[in-house]
Amino acid sequence: MSSPLLVRNRNYRLLFTAGALTNLGDGLVALALPWLATLLTREPIAIAAVAAAGRIPWLLFSLPAGVIADRTDRRKLIARADLLRAFIVGAILILALSNPGPGAIWVLAGLALLLGSAEVLRDNAAQTILPDIVAPKDLEAANGQLWSAEQLTGQFIGPPLAGLLIATGIAVPFGLDLAVLVLAAGLVWMISLAPKEPVQTGFMKALKEGIAFMRSDRVLLRLAIVLGCANFLAMLTITVQVLFAQDVLGLSAAQYGVILSVAAAGAIGGSLCAPFLIRNLGAQLCLYLALATWGIGYGVVGISPNGVVMAAALFSIMFAAMVWNVITVSWRQRRIPAELLGRVNSIYRFLGWGSMPLGSLAGGVIVWLVEQEASRETALRAPFLFAAFASAVLLIYGLFSLRLD
């Protein structure tokens, strides 16, 4: 029996540890950044602008990030992106320490935009470098471990730790994030890979080559479209989820926090179990089961009478989401030529993630429209039931159109 991947592969061990550290930092900032925003102003639109600024780069910079990943040394790009993020977090740290006025909220929004842009560069390069680090047969195991570490540090440890650190000072979580980003950059810099010839074509020509490959591969394009629809539905429900928990199920903040922890446990479980499920059931069947589980899970949330049922449904949804991620990411890493991987992967994520802001807006619109004719409870259940129906349509489409080969 071969030794575990983390034991026998030094480069993967360095990448895994760096990823766990940066996701810990992301978890810290996920709580500390909006908290700092509320200390600067109580204006909802301004606070929402800070949150939106961190997401907008996935729409604006995903495509250029892919070209950059193919035109540069990905190892150096990851390390430099982490150092850039450390510099930006340092600026946020200084802002937090300077006792700023309400007008500083727009400075914070600008810094959030820069931080999100650097994250797009980092994440795309990190996903495209993995085939250079592990053997093709190890991709499922490597991706599963990376996803589970992301959930553990970014969801379980980071936000609660940030809450404790904020009690000692709002700047403290940013200081810790700065430190882990610098450490992560150092670990990535220690990765040793054979030099590769970067793409030498012009920027627009390189981008068009990636788009042409995506258009020519029908299965890849269909997977991206299905992911975009799935993420649209996910954000449609997440947007109203906290109101559903409060107004329909009558949950307290602590009870809702437990539900989110259960959902994160589902994500970790899915990440760790995915390689086993793929080996024993096959990637194709697992893909269909993930689509089916989403529909069932959303439907159960939509009719759930209490928090226990809601938690179980969200556990299953997140479990299925991580199985889907491990399958599709590993499949893409094998299917896309190495010299095109950064560009095609960024186009895929643009299509798959670009729908998320639209989904957030749609969730609020559905609640508003239904509430014009029905009760508040019915309106808050409606997005989940809509997502269940739409997921069933996606499953039918997938059964006929998504054939992994």
Domain termination residue (choose one: 129, 160, 188): 188
Same domain, 183 and 218: no
Same domain, 159 and 203: no
pLDDT of residue 360: 73
Report the 3 state secondary structure along the chain. CCCCHHHHCHHHHHHHHHHHHHHHHHHHHHHHHHHHHHHHCCCHHHHHHHHHHHHCHHHHCHHHHHHHHHHCCHHHHHHHHHHHHHHHHHHHHHHHHCCCCCCHHHHHHHHHHHHHHHHHHHHHHHHHHHHHHCCHHHHHHHHHHHHHHHHHHHHHHHHHHHHHHHCCCCCHHHHHHHHHHHHHHHHHHCCCCCCCCCCCCCHHHHHHHHHHHHHHCHHHHHHHHHHHHHHHHHHHHHHHHHHHHHHHCCCCHHHHHHHHHHHHHHHHHHHHHHHHHHHHHCHHHHHHHHHHHHHHHHHHHHHCCCHHHHHHHHHHHHHHHHHHHHHHHHHHHHHCCHHHHHHHHHHHHHHHHCCHHHHHHHHHHHHHHHHCCCCHHHHHHHHHHHHHHHHHHHHHHHHHHCCCC
Q: Does the pLDDT at position 267 exceed 80? A: yes
Residue 232 lies in a domain: yes
Structural contact between residues 235 and 353, judged by C-beta atoms closer than 8 angstroms: no
Distance CA 317, CA 40 (A): 36
pLDDT in tens, 304-327: 999 999 999 999 999 999 999 989
Q: Does the pLDDT at position 274 exceed 80? A: yes
Same domain, 290 and 403: yes
pLDDT of residue 200: 64
Same domain, 309 and 245: yes
Same domain, 37 and 130: yes
Task: Report which listed range, 10-19, 101-110, 350-359, is most confident.
Answer: 10-19
- Top pLDDT among 237 and 156 is at 237
Task: Name which of 199-208, 275-284, 389-398 the model is least confident about.
Answer: 199-208
Same domain, 182 and 250: no
Structural contact between residues 329 and 270, judged by C-beta atoms closer than 8 angstroms: no
| CA dist 307 → 244, 256, 301 (Å) | 10, 8, 9
Same domain, 284 and 327: yes
pLDDT of residue 1: 46
What average pLDDT does the segment 370-383 reach?
89
Shortest CA distance to 118 belongs to which of 221, 29, 240, 211?
29
Domain termination residue (choose one: 139, 156, 188): 188
Q: Does the pLDDT at position 16 exceed 50? A: yes
Same domain, 169 and 318: no
| pLDDT classification of 11: cutoffs 50, 70, 90 | very high
Task: Name which of 286-300, 359-373, 374-388 the model is least confident about.
Answer: 359-373
Same domain, 211 and 171: no
Longest dimension (CA), the chain: 64
Residue 193 lies in a domain: no
Same domain, 213 and 294: yes
Residue 194 lies in a domain: no
Q: Does the pLDDT at position 199 exceed 80? A: no
Task: Name which of 64-73, 193-202, 254-263, 266-275 the model is least confident about.
Answer: 193-202
What average pLDDT does the segment 85-99 reach?
95
Distance CA 238, CA 359 (A): 9
What average pLDDT does the segment 68-94 reach?
93
pLDDT in tens, 33-70: 888 887 888 775 676 677 778 778 887 888 888 888 88
Summary mean pLDDT of the chain: 88
| CATH number of the domain encompassing residue 216 | 1.20.1250.20
Shortest CA distance to 170 belongs to which of 93, 226, 236?
93
Residue-range definition of the domain harbouring residue 3: 1-188
What average pLDDT does the segment 98-126 reach?
90
pLDDT of residue 254: 67
Task: State the total domains in the chain.
Answer: 2
Residue 150's Cβ-count burial label (10 Å; 0-12, 13-18, 19+) is buried
What average pLDDT does the segment 243-250 reach?
85
Residue 229 lies in a domain: yes
Domain termination residue (choose one: 188, 217, 234): 188
Same domain, 245 and 138: no
Task: Report which listed range, 17-21, 133-137, 141-145, 374-378, is most confident.
Answer: 17-21
Same domain, 173 and 215: no
